[in-house]
Structure 1
C-alpha cells in the first residue's frame, strides 16, 4: 500500500488531464492533489440476448480470488444457503479459499471453476441466479471500488448481493439492481442471498432494474465520453 501511495503522490499531480473509474475517487484526487479528473467507468458492452432458463439456481462469484474479497465470511455463509456457489477466477487467496471450503465441509456446495475465457464467463454469468460483489472494508481502495463484475451482473440481468459502499449505493439508488449489505459478515451475506432466493417479486423487480440500468450503464456510452476526453486533451496541447 505504501509503495503505491508514494507512486500516486508523485504521479497524479503531474498529470492535469486524467480519468478514474468513479466520481468518488475523482473527488478524493481533487481534495488531495488539486486535479480535476474525469470519470470513465469500466462497463460491459451492451449486447442483446435471450435470458436463459435458470435450471439450477446457483450463486456466482466472478473475479479475482484475492485477499479482501470476503471469502472468509462468504464460505461459512454458504452453510445456511440452499444453493450452490460457483467461483470463477484465481488469485492470491485461492489456496486459503480451497482450505476454508474443506474445513467447512462444503465441497459439495462450493465449486471452483478457475479462470474462464471472456465468452465462457459471459455465458455462465447469464445462467447464474444471483451474483456477488463483496469487499472487506479494509482501506479506501475497497471502500471506493466500482468492480467490473457489478456491471457484468447487471448486463446479464442477474440480481446481486453487494456491499453498501458509496459507488454501488449511488448506482443502486438510481437503478435498483442489488440487495445491499452494510457489512460482508457471514450472517448478512446468507440473509441477503436467502432473501433473493425466497422473494420472487423482489427478484423480478431487481431483474427489471438491471434491464433498465444496462440501457444507460454500458460501454457504448462510456466510449463516447472517452473519445470526447481525448479530443479535449489533444485540442489543449
Structure 2
C-alpha cells in the first residue's frame, strides 16, 4: 500500500507559516505524502525548501471579500481534481471549499482550529462580517467531527458549542540546542503579526519612558496605525520597523533580544484564550517576556515563571514593569533559567507524538 496523501489548505503564502511547516514536516517524516496549499502575491519571497510539497495560487485580489471569494473558488476547483486520502482545513477561512471537495470526492477531512476565528478583533468588531463568519462556523464546524486545536479551553468551547471533541496539539517550536543565548543585546522585540488587538496602543506610548529601542519584526493589518502611534508619541528614535524575516533568521534575532512582548487586548475570546506562537518562541530563545495575564498564559507561567504577567493597559505601568525587569539582574536570570528548563518540555518533539497518533487513529479506524 502506498503512502496516504494529505492536503492542507491555508490562506497565507506559506513562507512564514512556521506552524504548518512543523506539522507538515512531522507528517511527511511519519510516512505520509503531504502537500500544503496557499497563495502568493507579487511581493512573496520564493518558497523555502521543505520535505513536503507546496503549492501557491497567484490571485488577482490580495485582501477583502474578493480575495476570499477568489481563493475559495479556486481552491475548491483545484481540490476536486486532486487525488488525496484526506483534506485538511486550516482555520475557518478554508473550511467551505475543503468541506465540499472532500464530500464530493468522498475523502476524509480534518479541521485544524488555530484560534477562535470569529472572536478575532478584526472580525468581532465588525457586526456584518462577524455574522457571516459565525454562520460559516455554526454550519460547517459540526461537519468536521475530527479535528484539533491549540489548547484545552478552545477544545472545550468547540465541544460545548458544536458537539465536536477535538484533540489538543500545542503550537510550540522544535527544540534546537543552539537556538538560545543567555547573553543579550540591548533591544526589545515584538515579533509576529502586527494586527489589531495586540495592544500596541499601550506598548508604543510606554516607550516614552524606556531607553532601550523596540524592534518590530513583522507586518499586518495594523501597521499604519502603529506608525501613527509612533509619530503621535514622538518615539521614532526608539521604535524600529524591521519588516518580516524568514523563520530561521527571526530565530537568531529572538535569541539576541533582551525582552519580548506577548500582549493582547481583552476584546474577544480568541485573544482571551489565546496561546500565541511568540510566547514559546521567546521561551526557546531564553528571552524573558512581558506577557498578558490571560488564563492560558497564567496557567503555564504558574508551572515555572518564564514571563512577567501584566493586567494593565496603562503605558506608565507597562514602562515601569519593562524597566524593572531589565534592571533586576537576579530576577532576570531566574526567568532565563526557567526558560532553559521548560523549553525541554514545551517543544515540538513532544507535541508531534500526539499529532502522529492522531492521524494514525484516523486511518486505522477508517474514520
User: Aligned-pair distance for 1:52?
Assistant: 5.9
CA distance in 1, matches of 2:364, 2:140: 23
TM (norm. structure 2) is 0.62
Contact 1:163 1:184 in 2 (8 A): no
- After superposition, give the CA deviation of every residue in 1:102-155 in whole Å (9 maximum; x if it has no partner): 121111111000111111110110000100000111111111111100110000
Please, which runs of 5 or more residues in structure 1 have no aligned partner?
none
Aligned residues: 236
| Counterpart position of 1:84 | 213
Q: Using the alignment, how far apart are the partners of 1:217 and 1:188 within structure 2?
A: 30
More deviation in 110-119 or 26-35? 26-35
Say what the alpha-carbon RMSD is for the aligned residues.
1.3
Secondary structure of the residue aligned to 2:343 is helix
Alignment of 1:162-177 (within 5 A): 162-177=291-306
Contact 1:135 1:184 in 2 (8 A): no
2:181 matched to 1:51?
yes
8 Å CA contact 2:182–2:286 kept in 1: the answer is no
Aligned with 1:217: secondary structure? Answer: coil
Spell out, residue by residue over 1:22-59, the C-alpha distance to the aligned partner (whole angstroms, 9 max, x if none): 111011111112221111111111001162632x3211
Give distance in 2, aligned partners of 1:196 and 1:125. Answer: 17
Match of 1:225, SS? helix
Tell me how far 1:213 sits from its aligned partner: 0.9
Distance in structure 2 (CA, Å) of the matches to 1:190 and 1:5: 38
Contact 2:149 2:166 in 1 (8 A): yes
Kept after mapping to 1: 8 A contact 2:262/2:292: yes
- In 1, the alpha carbon distance for the partners of 2:313 and 2:305 equals 19
| Segments ≥4 residues shifted beyond 3 Å | none
Distance 2:155 2:248 in 1: 32
Q: Is the Cα contact below 8 Å between 1:42 and 1:148 reproduced in 2?
A: yes
CA distance in 1, matches of 2:145, 2:361: 12
CA distance in structure 1 between the partners assigned to 2:324 and 2:261 by the alignment: 14
Please state whether the residue corresponding to 1:131 is helix, strand or coil. strand
Equivalent in the alignment of 2:144: 15
What does residue 266 of structure 2 align with?
Answer: 137
1:36 equivalent to 2:165? Answer yes
Q: Tell whether the 8 Å contact from 1:134 to 1:184 is kept in structure 2 after alignment.
A: no
DSSP-derived class of the 1:161 partner: strand
Out of 211, 223, 227, the residue aligned to residue 94 of structure 1 is: 223
* Equivalent position to 1:159, from 258, 280, 288: 288
Paired with 2:296 and 2:182, the residues of 1 have a C-alpha distance of 29
Q: 1:184 Cα shift?
A: 3.6
Aligned-partner Cα distance in 2 for 1:221–1:142: 25
Answering whether residue 209 of structure 2 is matched by residue 74 of structure 1, we say: no
Partner of 1:189: 318
**Structure 1-normalised TM-score?**
0.95
SS in 1 for 2:189: strand
What secondary structure does 2:216 align onto?
A: strand
Could you say which residue in structure 2 is the equivalent of 1:60? 189
Return the offset for 1:159.
0.6
Q: Which has the larger radius of gyration?
A: 2
How far apart are the structure 2 equivalents of 1:4 and 1:209?
Answer: 40
Partners of 2:159 and 2:318 in 1: how far apart? 34
Q: Which one scores higher on RCO, CA 8 angstroms, separation ≥ 6?
A: 1
Partner Cα distance (2:318, 2:140) in 1: 38
